[in-house]
Amino acid sequence: MLNTETPNVLHTELDTYATADLAAALIDDQLNAVQAVRAAAPQIAAAIDAALPRIEAGGRLVYVGAGTSGRLGVLDGVELLPTFSWPDERAISLIAGGKQAMFVAVEGAEDDTEQGAIDIRELHLNQHDVVLLIAASGATPYVLGALQAARASGALTVGFANNPDAPVTRCADIGITLNTGSEIISGSTRLKAGTSQKIALNTFSSGLMVKLHKVYGNLMVDVKPTNIKLLRRTVSLTMHATGKDEQTCRKVLEECDFHVKTAIVAIQNQVSVATAEKLLAHYQGDVRKALQAIG
């Protein structure tokens, strides 16, 4: 029996717990998710380093999963645009059963190995693409079909599973095992197995974006202001990075379509927005190098 399916021996009378004890037990068990991801940190780092040159060469991130794992992949992918201005067409999510499976369980979809392969082949992957294959069991047929097709295309494959020695981690170029063990509600991998996947995907994608110079210090300077909240954030980020007042920062931001990177370089180097844009282009979007070029 898979670790994730093994009945938990610590809470065999969970249904009798007082509400406060029930909530505490459910929360405390989530701590194991953090520990599982921490143990996999070297493999996650290796995946970031392997993905970086491919993404720099124009590759795409492709998330593949079924059920909770598939939904977590979709979530990680769609958040890259507002957070890092990552183009939607370079963050693609495949979930067994199609888009409708985000909201309603599609019976039998995860068991279709061939559909996983078909969905991948339709993307016409190449050696620059990076495919993230997520499965708590590590043996979901849809995901394994996608894995086989992705490997045949020459794309980098990274497998995430919550059971040791799982097919998806064993057969991928880089395997990341998040060994969360048995669930407090036996077999419900939407609990700490899902939490560990969320942390691992956040770590991978955020780490990759840092390496792509979409962060300056620890500021998300490539934010896409798609709403009023994020528009305000561009101002506060620019103020924090430059030490200048709101009026100064807002004026420059308005000149560069609220692109924080450009505003920082223009203000700090005391150059025009056009010059700041050229500096950033020359240094592949690296704010620190663009500042050092003149400073």
Question: What is the tens place of the pLDDT at every residue in 52-85?
Answer: 999 999 999 999 999 999 999 999 999 999 999 9
Segment 169-190, tens digit of pLDDT: 999 999 999 999 999 999 999 9
Segment 272-283, tens digit of pLDDT: 999 999 999 999
Pairing verdict, β 91-95 and 61-65: parallel
Start and end residues for every CATH 3.40.50.10490 domain found in the chain: 3-211
- Count the Cβ atoms, other than its own, within 10 Å of residue 118: 13
> Rounded to an integer, what distance in angstroms lies between the CA atom of residue 261 and that of residue 267?
10
Catalytic residue among 5, 79, 246, 255: 79
Start and end residues for every CATH 1.10.8.1080 domain found in the chain: 228-294
Residue 294 pLDDT:
82
User: DSSP readout, 185-246?
Assistant: STT-TTTHHHHHHHHHHHHHHHHHHHHTT--BTTB-TT----SHHHHHHHHHHHHHHH---H
Segment 8-56, tens digit of pLDDT: 999 999 999 999 999 999 999 999 999 999 999 999 999 999 999 999 9
Catalytic residue among 110, 122, 183, 255: 110
Residue 13 falls in the annotated catalytic set = no
Architecture category of domain 3-211 in CATH? 3-Layer(aba) Sandwich (3.40)
Question: DSSP 3-state assignment of 139?
Answer: coil
Residue 79 falls in the annotated catalytic set = yes
Question: pTM value?
Answer: 0.95
In this prediction, residues 114-138 reach a mean pLDDT of 98
Pairing verdict, β 130-135 and 174-177: unpaired
Segment 214-242, tens digit of pLDDT: 999 999 999 999 999 999 999 999 999 99
Residue 105 pLDDT:
87
Segment 248-263, tens digit of pLDDT: 999 999 999 999 999 9
Residue 41 pLDDT:
98
Residue 107 pLDDT:
81
> Rounded to an integer, what distance in angstroms lies between the CA atom of residue 273 and that of residue 135?
46
The pair of structure tokens assigned to 240 is 């924090």
* CATH (one of 1.20.120.1200, 1.10.8.1080, 3.30.499.10, 3.40.50.620) for 228-294: 1.10.8.1080
